[in-house]
Structure 1
Amino acid sequence: MATMTAIPKQKTKKVALKGMMDNVMEQFNSASDQIELHPNIRKILSITNNEIVVNFPVKMDNGEVEIFTGYRVQHNNALGPYKGGLRYHPTVDIDAARALAMWMTWKTSLAGLPYGGGKGGIKLDPSKYSQGELERITRRFTFALADNIGPEHDIPAPDVNTSSQTMAWIADTYMSTRPPAERTANQHVVTGKPDGSGGLEGRDRATGYGVYLNIKFWADKNNESLKGKKFIVQGFGNVGYWASYFLEKDGAKLVAVQDASGSIHNSDGLSVKDIFNYTQINDGKVKGFPEAFELDDEEFFSTDCDICIPAALGNQITKENASQIKARLIAEGANGPTNVEGEHALLERGVTIIPDILCNSGGVIASYFEWLQNRNGEIWQLDEVMAKLDKKMKESFDKVFAFAKAESLDLRTAAFCIAIKRIEKAYIQRGIFP
């Protein structure tokens, strides 16, 4: 396995997330109709349990005070503690957090984890702040959230524009607010920490590796090889990079990349390693990569390819651009990258979509491994982590594929059905208090 570090933060085009809640609710209702979900449980799952909004002051490097707004939405915890990432992005708002939290509930349920779903973040552009300012913002946000997070209650993780360093700051701040005897016992308040601070070896690549695995499983089901397959990636952060890295190792060819700086392409293929090295000296941006041609952003999705990996933000594939996509397979590395209308257009054309709650679940599965590692005081080796991830991802893929085939459903609806049915079973067995 590779040991590269310092993956560039995911940089993507600023896209309004308006409509994401509509998308997730339409997906939920479609699956609920399919499984004839009990109406009382449908009511419960249609709303969030808790929505926390905090406004907090932070002193900037120049001595001025700036007020930030942070969010944490806790959708459902019927199966266990709330679990989900924190993102730092100008598009963060309460509606986006609601939709993302709900997707996390389905994702953790589908993966068979003892978790519910939560999501949140801070509305800001991190590129406008120094490292010291980001640390103070993160620590103040953690303090403002207070007991709304906790290792057995709500466990954040990295997301867009947050990293293992962000998680280390959160963990340290949270543990510092605990009584001395309890501090080390709360290390697993977050996952995605650095290796030296209780993190899991391999957590950095887990989401992208999971995307690769799902693509490989799809190819295997179709008796095809990945060798020679052309793929494009939107977003060359942690997810996009590692998915590309493993696909290239299997013989697939990267032909186009898009991030916030622009789009590049080369029909003869792009070296994943060379692009990665270039971003390290170019502020994480792919624009200007010397071995590629510039591509108009509007033409990115129309690039000739077999596989398209949207690994940026939500609502990237819509009814307006779905007709341009030439790929046979969409592997959703991001959360909610395809809206409902875009998906309908793709499915009508026979395009297969591996849904986000399945495709990018490698990250939350690895987070579960890290959480267990911390709780049990263990240290897992990389080979062990990757083997466990392989097994868990294969179980999830096979389960969704079989259900979709048996019920003549698309993969997203099948995944939602399985996830919701598991939560429904928990409510039926336990009943509703009082």
Structure 2
Amino acid sequence: MTTMTTELPREKAKSKRGVMDNVMAQFNTAADRINLNPNIRKILKITNNEIIVHFPVKMDNGDMEIFTGYRVQHNNALGPYKGGLRYHPTVDIDAAKALAMWMTWKTSLAGLPYGGGKGGIQIDPSKYSQSELERITRRFTFALADNIGPEHDIPAPDVNTNSQTMAWIADTYMSTRPPAERTANQHVVTGKPDGSGGLEGRDRATGYGVFLTIKFWFERKNETLEGKTFIVQGFGNVGYWASHFLEGEGAKLVAVQDAFGSIENQNGIKVEDLFNYTESNNGSLVNFPDAEASNKDEFFGTECDICIPAALGGQITKDNAMTVKATLVAEGANGPTDVDGEKILIERGVTIIPDILCNSGGVVASYFEWLQNRNGEFWQLDEVMPKLDKKLLESFNKVYEYSEKEAMDFRTAAYCIAIKRIEKAYIQRGIFP
């Protein structure tokens, strides 16, 4: 199952900040609060490496197409670069740079021995056959050559990529290694299928983490999820699993939006019924029989307790933040709330669980898979989920308590914790030469 994408109408795009403007504004706010060492600040404001590759691929009809792929490696002070590869028309160098920086903060906050990287191909995968996507993926992997590796840079699935994509990358990468090294390089990517070194539970880990952080927040308020209503933008892997677990705790899904449209039913939408419908309807929720079509531009104004943007970035802006009815926004996507939108939400008393905390279940599970492959082990689901619970609870508690102590919003608290850990590593090690 791939991640569905959702975009706001083009006429609203001019009201959005650029993605790099957002990530730098967030970084600078936190850096100011912790009085970040100015020399380390200079380092963290830039990326280590920005790789752009152009490569030809033969299509099914015999024609040749040229594709552009990206991999940005932001920082590796804490360990190998880690982050997803997405296949989407919006992929460009600025998007990859911003996403790579977010991954640096995310892995640091989670206490993982990783840095941050991100990339992908500027492509609409729906326009290509499965065999064409395989050739594109394998050629992209070959073009990246020595820029990825299990101890250097470890890709994972992201928007419009999945476990099959990772299996193709792993196979291609291992095929380029000397024979004696091939089986030792299986952990060059994470998010692989179970039968190819993947981790049981990796498919649900990101959505499960979104659910857990929501649950932890309500527990801090001495409340349960029973009877709470929620809306989800993007009903792909993250949106589906978050909804699945929330419904299991008694919460009610009342509206969903995907790339094709929006639906609403204040009496509740059964998660499994919607999932089965989309699976049989080319991924689309349009004409789902147990809900009414709703205005796509007014989605975030739907009455609910919890809003989960789990599609693309830049969805909640100054144009629609005033309409948000939820008291809690849980960021299943990366960067779904821009700086201007966030300011409005905070002024209105809306709590935001930031992306680098809320959707970090995926990279934590990726770390477990990497360890499993490295050690030649196989972890079963009943081992994986408790480990995930523990790591996410630790991260949530750190952010919650720092936020309370320093009287700041969750995102700034999360950034402060993440950046301090990297600053400490640089201070202890020094900077060559």
TM-score of the superposed pair, with normalisation by structure 1 = 0.98
CA contact (8 A) 2:210 2:358 kept: yes
RMSD: 0.9
Taking the TM superposition and a 5 Å limit, the aligned residue runs for 1:162-177 are 162-177=161-176
* 1:346 and 2:345 matched: yes
Counterparts of 1:62-77 in structure 2 under 5 Å? 62-77=61-76
2:290 maps to 1:297? no
How many Å apart are 1:10 and its aligned residue? 1.9
Summarize deviations over 1:17-40 as a string: whole Å, max 9, x none: 861110000000000000000000
After superposition, give the CA deviation of every residue in 1:261-303 in whole Å (9 maximum; x if it has no partner). Answer: 1000000000000000001110011111010000010111000
For residues 155 and 280 of structure 1, what CA distance do their matches in structure 2 show?
30
Matched, 1:389 2:383: no
Letter in 1 for 2:239: G
The equivalent residue for 1:3 is none
Map residues 246-265 of structure 1 onto 2, 5 A cutoff. 246-265=245-264
Answering whether residue 220 of structure 2 is matched by residue 226 of structure 1, we say no
Q: Are the counterparts in 2 of residues 8 and 280 from structure 1 also a CA contact under 8 Å?
A: no
For the Cα contact (< 8 Å) 2:277–2:288, is it kept in 1? yes
Paired residues of 2:84 and 2:156 also in contact (CA < 8 A): yes
Please state how far the C-alpha of 1:8 moved relative to its aligned partner: 4.7
Cα offset, 1:13, TM superposition: 2.7
- Count residues in correspondence: 428
- The answer (yes or no) to whether the contact 1:8–1:284 under 8 Å persists in 2 is no
Q: Which amino acid aligns with 2:188?
A: V
1:213 aligns with 2:207: no
Matched, 1:272 2:271: yes
Corresponding residue number in structure 2 for 1:238: 237
Task: Tell me if the contact between 2:274 and 2:285 (Cα under 8 Å) persists in the aligned partners.
Answer: yes
Which amino acid counterpart does residue 432 of structure 1 have in structure 2? I
Identity %: 79
Residue 257 of structure 2 aligns with an amino acid whose one-letter code is Q
Match for 1:11 among 5, 11, 17? 5
1:356 aligns with 2:355: yes
Distance 2:304 2:357 in 1: 22
Q: Distance in 1 between matches of 2:199 and 2:73?
A: 25
- Are 1:208 and 1:238, in contact at CA under 8 Å, matched by a contact in 2? yes
- Show the counterpart of 2:201: 202
Are the counterparts in 2 of residues 330 and 354 from structure 1 also a CA contact under 8 Å?
yes
Partners of 2:76 and 2:428 lie apart in 1 by 15
Q: Which amino acid aligns with 2:295?
A: D
Counterpart amino acid of 2:389? Answer: D
SS of residue in 2 equivalent to 1:346: helix
Deviations 1:178-212 (A, max 9, x none): 00000000000000000000000000000000000
Find the counterpart in structure 1 of residue 378 from structure 2.
379
Is residue 18–residue 96 contact of structure 1 (8 Å, CA) maintained in 2? Answer: no
More moved, 281-290 vs 161-170: 281-290
- CA distance in 2 between partners of 1:207 and 1:105 (Å): 17
Kindly report which structure 2 residues correspond to 1:352-431, keeping only aligned pairs within 5 A, or say none. Answer: 352-431=351-430
Alignment of 1:114-129 (within 5 A): 114-129=113-128
1:317-328 equivalence runs, <5 A: 317-328=316-327
Q: Which amino acid aligns with 1:33?
A: D
Q: Give the whole-Å Cα distance in 2 for the aligned partners of 1:138 and 1:12.
A: 23
Q: Distance in 1 between matches of 2:183 and 2:290?
A: 48
Cα deviation, residue 388, structure 1? 0.1
Q: Does 1:134 align with 2:133?
A: yes
Describe the SS at the equivalent of 2:36: coil
> What is the Cα deviation at residue 423 of structure 1?
0.1
Secondary structure at 1:267's aligned position in 2? coil
Q: 1:18 to 1:165 in 2, by over 3 A?
A: farther
Distance 1:427 1:359 in 2: 27
What letter matches 1:31 in structure 2? A
Q: How much has 1:162 moved relative to structure 2?
A: 0.1
Query: Which runs of 5 or more structure 2 residues have no equivalent in the other structure?
Result: none
Shift of 1:225: 1.2
User: For 1:421, what is the secondary structure of its paired residue?
Assistant: helix
Please state whether the residue corresponding to 1:13 is helix, strand or coil.
Answer: coil
**8 Å CA contact 1:41, 1:427 repeated in 2:** yes
Ranges of 4+ aligned residues in structure 1 off by more than 4 Å: 14-18
Q: Which amino acid aligns with 1:11?
A: T
Residue 12 of structure 1: CA displacement? 2.3
Partner Cα separation in structure 1 for residue 57 and residue 166 of structure 2: 18
Q: Secondary structure at the match of 1:270?
A: coil
Q: Is the CA contact (8 Å cut-off) linking 2:17 and 2:338 kept in structure 1?
A: no
Aligned equivalents of 2:4, 2:166: Cα separation in 1: 16
Query: Where does 1:45-124 land on structure 2 (aligned, <5 Å)?
Result: 45-124=44-123
Code of the aligned partner of 1:415: A
Q: Distance in 2 between matches of 1:377 and 1:262?
A: 45
* Amino acid aligned to 2:6: T
SS in 2 for 1:326: coil
Secondary structure at the aligned position of 2:356 is classed as: helix
Distance 1:290 1:111 in 2: 41
Task: Say if 2:72 and 2:118, in contact at 8 Å, map to a contact too.
Answer: yes
* CA distance in 1 between partners of 2:83 and 2:379 (Å): 22
Specify the SS of the correspondent of 1:223: coil
Measured in 1, the distance between the counterparts of 2:186 and 2:21 equals: 36
Structure 2 partner of 1:4? none
Contact 2:2 2:162 in 1 (8 A): no
Q: Quick one: distance in 2 between partners of 1:77 and 1:385?
A: 26
